[in-house]
Chain A
Amino acid sequence: MKKLTTLMMAGVAASLMVSAANAGSHSKRGADGQLNIIYWQAASILNPYLSGGTKDTHASSMILEPLAKYDEKGGMVASLAEEIPTPENGGVSADLTSITWKLKKGVTWSDGSPFTAADVVFSAEYCMDPTGGCNSISNFNDVKSVEAVDDHTVKITFKVAKPFPYGPFVGATVPIIQKAQFKDCMGAKAPTCTTQNFGPIGTGPFVVTEFKSNDVVVYAANDKYREADKPAFATAIIKGGGEAAAAARSVLETGEFDYAWNLQVEPEILAQMAAKGKGTIVTSFGTSVERLMVQSTNVDPALGDKRGTVEGGPHPFLTDPAVREALSFAIDRQILVDAGYGKAGQVTCNVLPAPAVYASTANDDCKKQDVARANKVLDDAGWAKGSDGIRAKDGVRLSILFQTSTNGVRQGTQALIKQMWKAIGVETELRNISASVFFGGDQSSPDTFQKFFADIEMYTNNFDGTDPEKYMGSWTCNNIPAPSNQWIGNNMPRYCNPEYDALVAEMGKTASIEKRAALAKKMNDMLMQARAMIPLIHRGDVSAHANTIKGVRMNSWDSQLWNVADWTRAK
């Protein structure tokens, strides 16, 4: 825990220094005119509790604030709270079952009414109502009660000991909404409150003046914002629509916009655009890893209802560790990065690549392609090449069905991997499925990533915030998707190891940051050495800002617009 505190202190100190440095560059609110932001996926709704995804969370983060945000290094920074509660400062109880937040005094909503603990309590009730369909409800897992101790103190009690009690109200997905505004929008009525959902009253640096769903959000500086000289911009817009390349062009080539989000554009094209000298590309890395899931159950269609389940029996060849090892070593990850990701990707050999304390180095031998080793492993295991150049053993051919979601970069990666595997005598059939079907989880569709009726599937996963406990818990035996649990579960590779489950249980009881890090690394290494998954690329976020915009601190842990109050325009 001490290390965590030090980390947080360092984060706070760093942000203080940066804001001190920025303070000199502008003197008063609204002095820098208009800020033009482009998100090629337009915001649909400004209430992040009912939002359709990242774009909405970011757009609302200019208006609504949580108690604490994550900074660009993953450290926590207090925003509506006075400070971050820790066991050391008494904010987190010794038995780890409660956390007490002290709220900043004198904060007002943009309508002038005071911000109090009642609003925090209400926000929790709003999201925890099971009929409301709140997207962030898992942040409130195990919460027993949220109560206002006084006007500026909130106590959150958990049913179990929470070594990481920062789920509720930390980060842009769980901000505080105003009780007075939303009190008639609880539960099933939540979606019907269009006025509220389209124009939430907030405490943040901006207020909404006009919102056209799936098109444009127009903001004006919040004149009640608690820092008198911020924000530097009088107005701001977030325009949506089009695609990533067009968004990049509008910042880097035509200069019509100041900031463009999520520029998943071919690295070459992006570099050409940046060469015009109008803007800068910024990247940051969170926890996203593009990985191959390796199926360990049999997916033969002849199995009927047992297809892809543990009862259906083991996979005919992917359960052989030699095959898994060879598949991993045959891949040249650097080529995949250069072809599809550029600055937005790094080679990785872990499913848990960040934060730094949790990143293991035990598996780094996969960073270099080793075809000779892959071939040798297969030869030794008795997989011999047939007349068609494909390896087989006992009548089983190494022929893989490899599926992923429809996306230009993913199909490029698939094609490269197919070639690399062909070189070691493995045949690959490629398949891509529309993202809304693949990730949709529709029970009646055979093409979802949970059903995984293929040998290998590829996608990116990550976790919110900086604590990997929930994420690492994805690969326990009871998390295997199956008909009995309506195919709900995150353990796509159907990995099941009682030792692993024991480690997950142990982490749930461990508070010390060093021990938690050691456990997380051990779990990561177990998964990697069993090759339940084959990690490929640690994916970053890529955005671009005009050279005249100062103060952008690209952030993968929170909204990219988390510090928009500090942004300024150089004259």
Chain B
Amino acid sequence: MLNYTIRRLLFAIPTLLVISFIIFVILDLAPNDPTGSLPLTIPAEVRAQIREALGLGQPFHIRYVKWLEQFFINEPLNIMEHWWGAPIGDSDSRLRVTSWMSRSPVVDLIVERMPQTLWVVGLSYLVGILIALPIGVISAYKQYSWFDQIGTFVSMVGFSVPTFFTGLLLIVVFSVNLGWLPSIYDTTLKVTDFSSFMAQLRQLAMPVMVLALFNAAQLSRFMRASMLDNLNQDYVRTARAKGMSEKVVLLVHVLRNSLIPVVTVIALGVPQIFGGAIITEQIFKVNGLGQLLILGIENADIPLVQTLTFIFAILIVFFNLIADVVYGMLDPRIRYD
């Protein structure tokens, strides 16, 4: 297993390099321009100077190598400096990956936005799992019962109604008409006491529910299908014949076996948490990583988009590996060596 993991990790390096190059090429070929969002009163000569100041005058390969250096050498050095609290080398003249939109280091922007994205998207993933698993189990155990029918209906709705609709619906009901919940997420809120904790819960309620419904819809279908597969297996009949109670048969024997593929699906979905939820974040003004990415794309902020998408790529490669390893640990029949 260890050998396998190391082999996979080594293989990830060329994969990621290729990915970073492809992202860079695509972004470079895109016909938008960082000065496109400036007011028209700024004349074209000034725009040309701004582009020059951003480093756009340099040839493609130089910009790519510069980015590689900034991302793989300068940024890690900067993080280490941060941990040790002492400067390493000439830290003042070391160039960091800098966003064109805000002229600040991209990594700082990402770190700043991590909390709200993890709160909203992470929590919604967790809530989604907690809703999905019981629904999937009961739906499968009582296949074609009214509970199963309603469960199927709800997950179809959750899956097919887009979040920009459910989000707006919730805002109209709970913010505009009832006035219970805020429609705008306050990223400056710090949880220090009970009332600020309640305020945090209130502003989390709507975005988390919208996303949780969407996540739960998917996962509950996986859970149900996996349970159904196992319920018809011979070992279940054997367990029942041994005189096990239904509770033990269902929750110990069947559930554990059914969870194996579901855990993989859950692990593969984790990178999406960091990717943020572009639409939901916009609707509730959460301003997390998803909103940062879409802003970067709109404003042709190439360093920002490049870095952000590349970090997503790393996470996806990494969680793919984790999913495979966990699968091997959960299912003794799987052996990679």
Chain A residues within CB distance 8 Å of chain B: 38, 42, 44-45, 50, 52-54, 130-135, 137-138, 188, 190-192, 194, 197-198, 210, 212-216, 218, 237, 239-243, 246, 249-250, 253-254, 256-257, 434-442, 444-445, 447, 450, 459-464, 486, 488-490
Q: Tell me if B183 and A254 are in contact (CB < 8 A).
A: yes
Q: Tell me if A194 and B104 are in contact (CB < 8 A).
A: yes
Q: Among B32, B179, B287, B299, which residue has its beta carbon within 8 angstroms of that of A52? A: B299
Q: Tell me if B36 and A440 are in contact (CB < 8 A).
A: yes
Closest B residue to A130 by CB, please name it. B49
Q: Tell me if A242 and B285 are in contact (CB < 8 A).
A: yes
Chain B residues within CB distance 8 Å of chain A: 31-50, 52-54, 98-99, 101-105, 108-109, 112-113, 171, 175-176, 179, 182-184, 186-188, 281-287, 291-292, 295, 298-300
Instruction: Kindly provide the distance from the CB of A437 to the nearest chain B CB, expressed in whole angstroms.
Output: 5
CA–CA, A153 and B287, complex, Å: 45
CA–CA, A246 and B44, complex, Å: 33
Q: Can you list 11 contacts pairing A with B, beta carbon distance less than 8 Å?
A: A42-B295, A45-B101, A54-B39, A134-B46, A192-B98, A194-B108, A213-B101, A246-B285, A254-B183, A436-B33, A436-B36
Instruction: Kindly provide the distance from the CB of B234 to the nearest chain A CB, expressed in whole angstroms.
Output: 55
CA–CA, A330 and B208, complex, Å: 51
The answer to whether A241 and B48 touch (CB under 8 A), given A214-B292, A214-B295, A436-B32, is: no
Residues in A neighbouring B101, C-beta threshold 8 A: 44-45, 52, 213-214
Q: Tell me if A439 and B36 are in contact (CB < 8 A).
A: yes
Residues in B neighbouring A191, C-beta threshold 8 A: 53-54, 98, 103
CA–CA, A197 and B299, complex, Å: 19
Q: Tell me if B32 and A434 are in contact (CB < 8 A).
A: yes
Instruction: Kindly provide the distance from the CB of B46 to the nearest chain A CB, expressed in whole angstroms.
Output: 5
CA–CA, A188 and B54, complex, Å: 9
The answer to whether A447 and B36 touch (CB under 8 A), given A133-B53, A440-B300, is: no
Q: Tell me if A254 and B50 are in contact (CB < 8 A).
A: no
CA–CA, A436 and B47, complex, Å: 13
Q: Tell me if A215 and B36 are in contact (CB < 8 A).
A: no
Q: Tell me if A447 and B176 are in contact (CB < 8 A).
A: no
Closest B residue to A243 by CB, please name it. B282
Residues in B neighbouring A450, C-beta threshold 8 A: 44
The answer to whether A257 and B44 touch (CB under 8 A), given A42-B287, A214-B292, is: no
Q: Tell me if A442 and B33 are in contact (CB < 8 A).
A: yes
Residues in B neighbouring A237, C-beta threshold 8 A: 188
Instruction: Kindly provide the distance from the CB of B159 to the nearest chain A CB, expressed in whole angstroms.
Output: 25
CA–CA, A242 and B168, complex, Å: 12
Residues in B neighbouring A132, C-beta threshold 8 A: 53
CA–CA, A445 and B300, complex, Å: 14
Q: Among A134, A215, A254, A461, which residue has its beta carbon within 8 angstroms of that of B179? A: A254
Residues in A neighbouring B36, C-beta threshold 8 A: 435-441
Residues in A neighbouring B176, C-beta threshold 8 A: 249, 253-254
Q: Among B49, B104, B182, which residue has its beta carbon within 8 angstroms of that of A133? A: B49
Closest B residue to A51 by CB, please name it. B38
Residues in A neighbouring B183, C-beta threshold 8 A: 246, 249-250, 254, 256
Q: Among A53, A190, A197, A445, which residue has its beta carbon within 8 angstroms of that of B38? A: A53
Q: Tell me if A52 and B37 are in contact (CB < 8 A).
A: yes
CA–CA, A129 and B112, complex, Å: 32
Q: Tell me if B300 and A436 are in contact (CB < 8 A).
A: yes
Instruction: Kindly provide the distance from the CB of B87 to the nearest chain A CB, expressed in whole angstroms.
Output: 16
CA–CA, A38 and B285, complex, Å: 11
Instruction: Kindly provide the distance from the CB of A13 to the nearest chain B CB, expressed in whole angstroms.
Output: 29
Closest A residue to B174 by CB, please name it. A254
Q: Among B37, B44, B103, which residue has its beta carbon within 8 angstroms of that of A194? A: B103
Q: Among A198, A210, A459, which residue has its beta carbon within 8 angstroms of that of B104? A: A198
Instruction: Kindly provide the distance from the CB of A237 to the nearest chain B CB, expressed in whole angstroms.
Output: 7
Residues in B neighbouring A256, C-beta threshold 8 A: 175, 182-184
Q: Tell me if A215 and B287 are in contact (CB < 8 A).
A: yes
The answer to whether A137 and B53 touch (CB under 8 A), given A213-B104, A442-B33, is: no
Q: Tell me if B102 and A44 are in contact (CB < 8 A).
A: yes
CA–CA, A138 and B42, complex, Å: 7
Q: Among A42, A194, A434, which residue has its beta carbon within 8 angstroms of that of B105? A: A194
Closest B residue to A488 by CB, please name it. B44
CA–CA, A132 and B286, complex, Å: 33
Q: Among B48, B52, B292, which residue has its beta carbon within 8 angstroms of that of A488? A: B48
Q: Among B33, B37, B49, B187, which residue has its beta carbon within 8 angstroms of that of A215? A: B187
Residues in B neighbouring A434, C-beta threshold 8 A: 32
The answer to whether A52 and B38 touch (CB under 8 A), given A135-B50, A191-B53, A242-B285, is: yes
Closest A residue to B38 by CB, please name it. A53
The 7 closest A-B pairs by CB, nearest first: A133-B53, A440-B33, A440-B36, A436-B32, A488-B44, A436-B36, A445-B31
Q: Tell me if B53 and A131 are in contact (CB < 8 A).
A: yes
CA–CA, A357 and B32, complex, Å: 39
Instruction: Kindly provide the distance from the CB of B5 to the nearest chain A CB, expressed in whole angstroms.
Output: 38
Q: Tell me if B109 and A444 are in contact (CB < 8 A).
A: no
Q: Among A216, A243, A486, A489, which residue has its beta carbon within 8 angstroms of that of B287? A: A216
CA–CA, A440 and B38, complex, Å: 9
Instruction: Kindly provide the distance from the CB of A130 to the nearest chain B CB, expressed in whole angstroms.
Output: 6
Closest B residue to A444 by CB, please name it. B31
Closest A residue to B50 by CB, please name it. A133
Instruction: Kindly provide the distance from the CB of B157 to the nearest chain A CB, expressed in whole angstroms.
Output: 24
CA–CA, A210 and B108, complex, Å: 14
Q: Tell me if A197 and B103 are in contact (CB < 8 A).
A: yes
Instruction: Kindly provide the distance from the CB of B163 to the nearest chain A CB, expressed in whole angstroms.
Output: 14
Instruction: Kindly provide the distance from the CB of A458 to the nearest chain B CB, expressed in whole angstroms.
Output: 13
CA–CA, A483 and B189, complex, Å: 53
Q: Among A216, A240, A246, A464, which residue has its beta carbon within 8 angstroms of that of B188? A: A216
Residues in B neighbouring A210, C-beta threshold 8 A: 188
Residues in B neighbouring A194, C-beta threshold 8 A: 103-105, 108
Residues in B neighbouring A192, C-beta threshold 8 A: 98, 103
Closest A residue to B101 by CB, please name it. A44
Q: Among A138, A188, A246, which residue has its beta carbon within 8 angstroms of that of B53? A: A188
Instruction: Kindly provide the distance from the CB of A399 to the nearest chain B CB, expressed in whole angstroms.
Output: 26
Residues in B neighbouring A134, C-beta threshold 8 A: 46, 49
CA–CA, A541 and B78, complex, Å: 44
Instruction: Kindly provide the distance from the CB of B199 to the nearest chain A CB, expressed in whole angstroms.
Output: 13
CA–CA, A213 and B301, complex, Å: 14
Residues in A neighbouring B37, C-beta threshold 8 A: 52-53, 435-436, 439
The answer to whether A441 and B50 touch (CB under 8 A), given A191-B103, A194-B104, A241-B291, is: no
CA–CA, A438 and B37, complex, Å: 10
Q: Tell me if A437 and B103 are in contact (CB < 8 A).
A: no
The answer to whether A212 and B187 touch (CB under 8 A), given A191-B98, A254-B176, is: yes
Besides the known contacts A45-B103, A191-B54, 10 further A-B residue pairs in the complex with CB atoms under 8 A apart: A52-B101, A53-B38, A133-B53, A198-B102, A213-B102, A242-B184, A242-B284, A250-B183, A437-B32, A490-B44
CA–CA, A192 and B95, complex, Å: 9
Q: Tell me if B103 and A138 are in contact (CB < 8 A).
A: no
Residues in B neighbouring A242, C-beta threshold 8 A: 184, 282-285
Residues in A neighbouring B113, C-beta threshold 8 A: 212, 215
Closest B residue to A241 by CB, please name it. B285
Instruction: Kindly provide the distance from the CB of A336 to the nearest chain B CB, expressed in whole angstroms.
Output: 20
Residues in A neighbouring B99, C-beta threshold 8 A: 213
Residues in B neighbouring A44, C-beta threshold 8 A: 101-102
CA–CA, A436 and B30, complex, Å: 10
